[in-house]
Amino acid sequence: MIKESEYKKRRDSLAKKMPNNSVGVIFSAEPATRSHDTHHPYRQESNFYYLSGFKEDNAVLLFLKTKEVVKTVMFVHKKDRALELWNGERLGAKEAKKSFLVDEVYESSEFKKRLKEFMKGKDTLFCELGSKKREVKKLLKLTKDFKTKHDIIPLVQKMRLFKSAAEIELVKESIAITTKAHHRAMRVNKKDRFEYELQAEIEHEFKINAAYSDAYTSIVACGNSANTLHYIKNDKPLIDGELILIDAGCEHNYYASDITRTIPVNGKFTEAQKELYNLVLETQLRVISMIKPSVKRSHLQESAEMMLTKGMVELGILKGNYKKLVKLQKHKRYYPHGIGHWMGIDVHDPAPYKDKKHREIPLQKGMVLTIEPGIYIDKDDKSVPERYRGIGIRIEDNILVTKDGYENLSSAIAKTVDEVESISTKL
């Protein structure tokens, strides 16, 4: 778990980025309505959680900075026994002051009054500009006389680009649970079952290991369904002889995992499936081996595109010189997405990919990213040899950039043809 001292260090770091005579404000997430008077399970807004570790709604973090002092103030929902009877216990201001290393704590109902006091002598506001939160809109009205307003979120997101030792351990814990889930999906008998049943097996494994939510909606795509990149219907039968693309990861203690494996329904790859699978796997392994500080993601992307295109030419899927085909973007028909993305509190961590001058940020120690090449061939693509039609394959792992190279955090999940076939139940 992350210690309160680390959250304080983050808050202090954020405050240092603000100029003198400024106020910074970040609000907690608002409850999300499911329908009518029912709600989705509450999840704290990621940036707010990153700075506080606080999981309740109706809360505010306020930063004050002058030449003489830097102060962090927290506002939390009041203790109310009647409301707690229905919706659960609240920490309250008194206990929050004991639990969090902030300078002052007040009840949320005092925010407007206290803000007016804290605003005196300040001329710069940092807040969630562009946010649709109701409280942000109210804040902008209250601070309409401020000379300068900045978006505070990019400052936090830049901090989130680098994971601490404690964060890396939480990502590892999430991946360990996801490992069990993917192995369960491989082992379970799939005869006469549907995609949603396999999804249930995966998410059951998440929950019995205290990962109460998935990091994103699980993709369980059999056969040609895998050629829809964000397929989430998961309602078709598992067909003997087809592959299943499973893109599933849990969220555990607010940290995500994001893993994709492609496995045979009957436990055995066909020769055509092996040829495509091994092309994707070899590409992934070679791209991962390139990861180290100072390398750019664009180089990884270009390398993956070259390798996949060269392989597709050799298999007769594409025709011509592979370098020219890449230049003409012909490979995009079968590999349309990026090589990967940042990962952390959010499965697609919104940390920056470019600096203020729009230059690409190279990989550095402490970054965590996914590597996920793929090939997707629609069943109706008559330009491709028939044996490959209707096959979609993606292989995805979660990688930590280290001082001298990388660590594949998800290397324990079966991935080679032999590993997958040895762990899979045969029909």
Report the CATH number that the domain containing residue 337 is assigned in CATH: 3.90.230.10
Note if 394 is an active site residue: yes
Non-local CB neighbours of 304 within 8 Å, separated by 6+ positions: 283, 284, 287, 335, 339, 373
Say if residue 131 is in the same domain as residue 215: no
Say if residue 249 is in the same domain as residue 364: yes
Q: Tokens for 343?
A: 């990962």
Non-local CB neighbours of 256 within 8 Å, separated by 6+ positions: 171, 174, 215, 216, 249, 250, 343, 344, 345, 346, 347
Say if residue 190 is in the same domain as residue 76: no
Q: What is the CATH number of the domain that holds 119?
A: 3.40.350.10
Say if residue 173 is in the same domain as residue 150: no
Active-site hit among 195, 247, 251, 397: 247
Active-site hit among 348, 381, 387, 389: 348
Say if residue 171 is in the same domain as residue 68: no
Note if 39 is an active site residue: no
**Residue 238 contacts residue 230 (beta carbons within 8 Å):** no
Say if residue 118 is in the same domain as residue 225: no
Active-site hit among 337, 353, 378, 421: 337
Note if 247 is an active site residue: yes
Active-site hit among 36, 117, 145, 230: 230
Note if 372 is an active site residue: yes
Q: Which of 127, 159, 191 is the last residue of a domain?
A: 159
Note if 230 is an active site residue: yes
Note if 406 is an active site residue: no
Q: Which of 99, 130, 159 is the last residue of a domain?
A: 159
Say if residue 80 is in the same domain as residue 216: no
Active-site hit among 106, 341, 349, 406: 341
Say if residue 62 is in the same domain as residue 174: no
Q: How far apart are CA 129 and CA 148, in angstroms?
A: 12
Say if residue 118 is in the same domain as residue 196: no
pLDDT of residue 145: 86
Note if 355 is an active site residue: no
pLDDT of residue 105: 98
| pLDDT, mean of each 10-residue run, the chain (427 residues) | 97 96 97 94 97 98 94 96 91 96 97 94 94 93 91 97 98 98 98 98 97 95 98 98 98 98 98 98 98 98 98 98 98 98 98 96 98 98 98 98 98 98 93
pTM of structure: 0.96
Note if 30 is an active site residue: no
pLDDT of residue 378: 98
Say if residue 145 is in the same domain as residue 189: no
Active-site hit among 37, 145, 271, 404: 37
Active-site hit among 258, 305, 346, 349: 258
Give me the domain span that covers residue 93: 4-159
Note if 11 is an active site residue: no
Say if residue 176 is in the same domain as residue 32: no
Say if residue 135 is in the same domain as residue 206: no
Beta bridge partners of 25: 62
How many domains, in total, are found in the chain? 2
Q: Which of 144, 159, 174 is the last residue of a domain?
A: 159
Active-site hit among 135, 205, 372, 397: 372
